[in-house]
Structure 1
């Protein structure tokens, strides 16, 4: 007879239902018998039955516990969690059922993840829209959600951030040949995803304000 999965009605209840499973997992870890986090899911064989009290966990229960443990560490996208469940041997049908339920109760929200990622990575690392979009694609975020999240950064904000990055880097390039300074500063912005025209304009302005010859800069950097 197939065991029916009973789904809680809220995120809090969903978290509580995994409590026993996580407690059992913690006991195994303290005894030195817990599998590595990225290892296969316990198959529920005879040795597992002896180590745990109660009936073996269903794939859905295992998937819930895995997802909750990962989400406790940091927010994850649906694709990231799906990949983790696949690596741990959770059947696809059970994984998709759990992931859909987590979305229903708000524990998975790729749109909110994308918004937070853009905010954190732009202000913390100075990444531009192009680089942010590339990172979000690798995490499996839908293109429409990516466009919406990176669209909150306008060109004016990008230019302000690019100038701040150049200002911090300027002093480390003093003493270098002018050509090398130009390449180093523009290359730094390019690696962070800034368009070439914007990167070169910001570098030119910064160097002009520092006293570099405007005619030299005009000869080496394209205009607006």
Structure 2
């Protein structure tokens, strides 16, 4: 038994925790990851992978992508060169991004053009580019969205007085970017309609 014990050699990593973890997880034999390898990796390859990952599933503005590259310590000259190349082939397009953003957020969230303009500005879209997309919003669609928001909110205001309901509804529309003139007009009309449909339902 002693001979058997003597023939057993301890593993080479015994006593070395880091080597033991490597042996257990087989990390040492894992394929290299250009992103995880950091400064030793090709910066352009790293940046390209970051951009493609960011663009998978949704469009992004150039500013969003630039900020992401900066947060991953991609050199400015590499980021600019790649972003220019991505624009040339149509993978980065702030005009298309702005149009898609407006077409999604205006009907789905009921946002007015002013609120959409603020969102696009935060995304780094130039004002003139944003304006082109916002000009495509039909004022009638904007008003219809405001009315839909008021009608939905009215369901939870059946027990409050008209003054309180007006204040809350106008505040809701203001947060969505609607001007006070349109907001008050829409709220007044919708409250009147609700009162006709449900007498005494205040």
| TM, length-normalised to structure 1 | 0.70
Q: Which residue of 2 aligns with 1:49?
A: none
Q: Distance in 2 between matches of 1:91 and 1:161?
A: 44
Query: Which deviations, in whole Å up to 9, do the C-alpha atoms of 1:94-116 show, x marking residues without a partner?
Result: 11000000000000011010001
Q: Would the aligned equivalents of 1:127 and 1:193 in 2 still touch at CA under 8 Å?
A: yes
Q: Distance in 1 between matches of 2:137 and 2:58?
A: 23
Q: Distance in 2 between matches of 1:34 and 1:129?
A: 44
Q: Which residue of 1 aligns with 2:51?
A: 67
Instruction: Answer yes or no: is 1:131 the counterpart of 2:115.
Output: yes
Query: Which deviations, in whole Å up to 9, do the C-alpha atoms of 1:66-109 show, x marking residues without a partner?
Result: 10011114211111111111111111111100000000000001
Q: Which residue of 2 aligns with 1:92?
A: 76
Deviation for aligned residue 1:154: 2.6
Compare CA radii of gyration and give the structure with the larger one. 2
Q: Which residue of 2 aligns with 1:81?
A: 65
How many residues matched? Answer: 167
Deviation for aligned residue 1:122: 0.8
Q: 1:61 to 1:171 in 2, by over 3 A?
A: same
Q: Which residue of 2 aligns with 1:111?
A: 95
Q: Distance in 2 between matches of 1:74 and 1:42?
A: 26
Segments ≥4 residues shifted beyond 3 Å:
none
- In structure 2, the gaps of 5 or more residues are 1-26, 197-202
Q: CA RMSD in A?
A: 2.1
> 3-state DSSP class of the match of 1:172?
coil
User: Which one is further off, 57-66 or 201-210?
Assistant: 57-66
Q: Which residue of 1 aligns with 2:39?
A: 43
Q: Which residue of 1 aligns with 2:171?
A: 187
Q: Would the aligned equivalents of 1:78 and 1:110 in 2 still touch at CA under 8 Å?
A: yes
Deviation for aligned residue 1:34: 7.0
User: Which one is further off, 187-196 or 57-66?
Assistant: 57-66
Q: Which residue of 1 aligns with 2:182?
A: 198
User: Which one is further off, 168-177 or 203-212?
Assistant: 203-212
Query: Which deviations, in whole Å up to 9, do the C-alpha atoms of 1:186-216 show, x marking residues without a partner?
Result: 111110001110010000001111227xxxx
| TM, length-normalised to structure 2 | 0.77
Q: Distance in 1 between matches of 2:131 and 2:137?
A: 10
Match of 1:170 among 154, 169, 185: 154
Q: Distance in 2 between matches of 1:41 and 1:176?
A: 61
